[in-house]
Amino acid sequence: MESRVRIGFVVAGGPRMPAQVDLYNADGEHCGRADLYLDGVVVEYDGRDERLKREKFAGDRRRQADINDLSVEVRRFTSDDYYKTTGAGRLAVLRRALVIAAGRSRPALRFGPDTLRPPKLQPLPTVAAQRVKKAA
């Protein structure tokens, strides 16, 4: 769903937002990973089942507080936001957040190393890659 929200912004005429961005504070401490990030705006997609699990809920709230300390604008989207609004409507929410974020100083925000672990499996080759391999 995060990808759908991201692509929905682009299809509606908005910017491409980097995904899974690690955010750090001025002391170099990892504050969290934003689903999407652009110019001081963090966009999060909240899946209903996941966000209601007790351990996930508490951790998400701590992460949210740490990210808010970085003076970024946070916008949360749910499945209702995706399925019951238009892409243009969601893009308007993003644009308002970008305007607010542009007026803020973010002296504590830092970017650091990517904390995602590398995938264990390699993707299957595409049909085009198979054709190239056969032609070689």
Mean pLDDT of the chain: 88
Answer whether 0.85 is exceeded by the pTM. Answer: no
pLDDT of residue 51: 61
**Sequential DSSP letters for 59-103:** HHHHHHHHHHTTT-EEEEE-HHHHHSS-HHHHHHHHHHHHHHHHT
Q: How far apart are CA 53 and CA 60, in angstroms?
A: 10
pLDDT at 52 over 70: no
pLDDT digits (tens, 9 = 90+) for 1-42: 888 899 999 999 999 999 999 999 999 999 999 999 999 999
CA dihedral of 17, 63, 23, 95, whole degrees rounded to 10: 30
pLDDT of residue 21: 93
Distance of CA 120 to the CA centre of its chain: 22
The values of phi and psi at residue 96, to 5°, are -60, -40
Q: How far apart are CA 132 and CA 136, in angstroms?
A: 6
Q: How far apart are CA 61 and CA 64, in angstroms?
A: 5
Q: How far apart are CA 51 and CA 49, in angstroms?
A: 6
Q: Where are the domains of the chain?
A: 2-135
